[in-house]
Amino acid sequence: MKSMNEVIHNILPMTFLTIFSAPKPFVDLHIRLIQRNAIASWCRLGADVEVILAGEEPGLAETAHEFGVRHLAQVGRNRLGTPLVSSIFGLVQANSTTPLLAYVNADILLLTSFVTMARWMMERKGKFLLVGQRWDLDVGEPLEFSPGWAGRLEDQLQKEGSLHAPAGSDYFIFPRGCFEKIPDFSIGRAGWDNWMIFEARRQGWQTVDATKSITIIHQQHDYAHLPGGQPHHHLPETDENIRLAGGREVTRFSLLDADHQLVNGRLRNRSWNFETLRRAIETYPLLKWNNYSLTAKFTSFFHRLKYKFHAQKVNP
């Protein structure tokens, strides 16, 4: 009897997944190190994965050539020179043919579970968005990709890593035909990743939290590469991203708003707890009726309720 992977391989074309990213300049030594680590890990995911790097940042063309991956240079930018998400996604969709695409931040290490679960979701047909939490790990040297590297990395992750909160997303896996129209968000600034989850929910696509099935590793870094060394959510371009997304209530969307989970090779409805129930109530007017003001009122009410609850716990 054939395994699930054998069946899926027979259904899907050989190269079925395009992983794409818009790396930062390869100037800062630590950023250069972790981006090269990340790209090297993507290149080891097998022949059924294509890698595309987009942009004209210093060192990018040379890195793409060195790793033997495709490079698409002509990315649109905002008035400050920051690449636009809409241009990156549009360029890759126009220059790739795989049925599945995955945007991944350029500091993220990927393991085989990324491809296995992408195949599994693809076999189900239909439109979906696959997202998940990351693991944070301090990486200060080039990874050694000798046999057994992934197992050694996972052992290190268990000892030294930490699971990031379900806010902010570092990858998006989706079928071709999704996200063909994206506002002109600035890449690397807050808000656009939240819009991706909102848009998937608004469109009625299965929005799947794959945290328990896909392990991705974020190599920790500072913000020296950003203007003034500030975190991205403090920059004016983040305010513009929020405006383009449709307001702050849209950019509150996170993994708590995923309506499905991928656990042990099974697709399940989301788990209910106080946080997911709260978010379901808060977002209902926006998703059901496109009613922004009522969503804002629901959100304000629940936040006051949460603060009151915590205050009572501290001062019973």
Tell me what pLDDT residue 156 has.
Answer: 95
* DSSP run (H or E) holding 140: none
Tell me what pLDDT residue 105 has.
Answer: 97
Task: Determine what percent of the chain is predicted with pLDDT higher than 70.
Answer: 88
Calculate Rg over the CA atoms of the chain.
20
Q: Which residue blocks in 22-171 are alpha helix, DSSP H? A: 29-42, 60-67, 85-94, 112-123, 149-160
Tell me what pLDDT residue 315 has.
Answer: 55
Bin 258: left if φ > 0, else alpha if -120 < ψ < 50, else beta: beta
Tokens for 310, please give them: 């915590």
Residue of 47, 49, 95 lying closest to 72 (CA atoms): 95
Tokens for 226, please give them: 């950003």
Tell me what pLDDT residue 30 has.
Answer: 95
Tell me what pLDDT residue 265 has.
Answer: 81
Tokens for 84, please give them: 């636009």
pLDDT band at 306 (very low <50, low <70, confident <90, very high): low
For residue 2, is pLDDT > 90? no
Which CATH class, in words, describes the domain spanning 4-268? Answer: alpha beta
Tell me what pLDDT residue 221 has.
Answer: 74
What is the Cα–Cα distance from 270 to 267, expressed in whole angstroms? Answer: 9
Q: What is the mean pLDDT of residues 200-210?
A: 97
On whether the CB atoms of residues 101 and 87 are closer than 8 A, the answer is no
Tell me what pLDDT residue 258 has.
Answer: 98
Q: What is the mean pLDDT of residues 153-172?
A: 94
Tell me what pLDDT residue 243 has.
Answer: 97
pLDDT band at 304 (very low <50, low <70, confident <90, very high): confident
Tell me what pLDDT residue 93 has.
Answer: 97
Cα distances (Å, whole numbers) of residue 202 to 6, 179, 188: 34, 12, 23
On whether the CB atoms of residues 244 and 184 are closer than 8 A, the answer is yes
Domain ranges of the chain: 4-268, 274-314
On whether the CB atoms of residues 46 and 80 are closer than 8 A, the answer is no
Q: What is the mean pLDDT of residues 284-305?
A: 92
What is the Cα–Cα distance from 130 to 121, expressed in whole angstroms? Answer: 8
Other C-beta atoms lying within 10 Å of the C-beta of residue 93: 17
pLDDT band at 7 (very low <50, low <70, confident <90, very high): very low
Rounded to 10 degrees, the C-alpha dihedral 245/221/66/174 comes to: -30
Q: Considering Cα of 5, then 136, then 130, then 26, what sign does the dihedral take?
A: negative
Residue of 89, 30, 40, 93 lying closest to 63 (CA atoms): 40
From 6-15, 40-49, 164-173, 274-283, the region with the lowest mean pLDDT: 6-15
What is the Cα–Cα distance from 129 to 208, expressed in whole angstroms? Answer: 6
Residue of 187, 70, 60, 179 lying closest to 131 (CA atoms): 179
Biggest alpha carbon distance in the chain?
63
Tell me what pLDDT residue 168 has.
Answer: 81
DSSP SS3 for 268: strand
pTM over 0.75: yes
pLDDT band at 290 (very low <50, low <70, confident <90, very high): very high
Q: What is the mean pLDDT of residues 200-206?
A: 97
Tell me what pLDDT residue 310 has.
Answer: 52
Q: Mind listing the pLDDT tens digit for each residue in 62-121?
A: 999 999 999 999 999 999 999 999 999 999 999 999 999 999 999 999 999 999 999 999
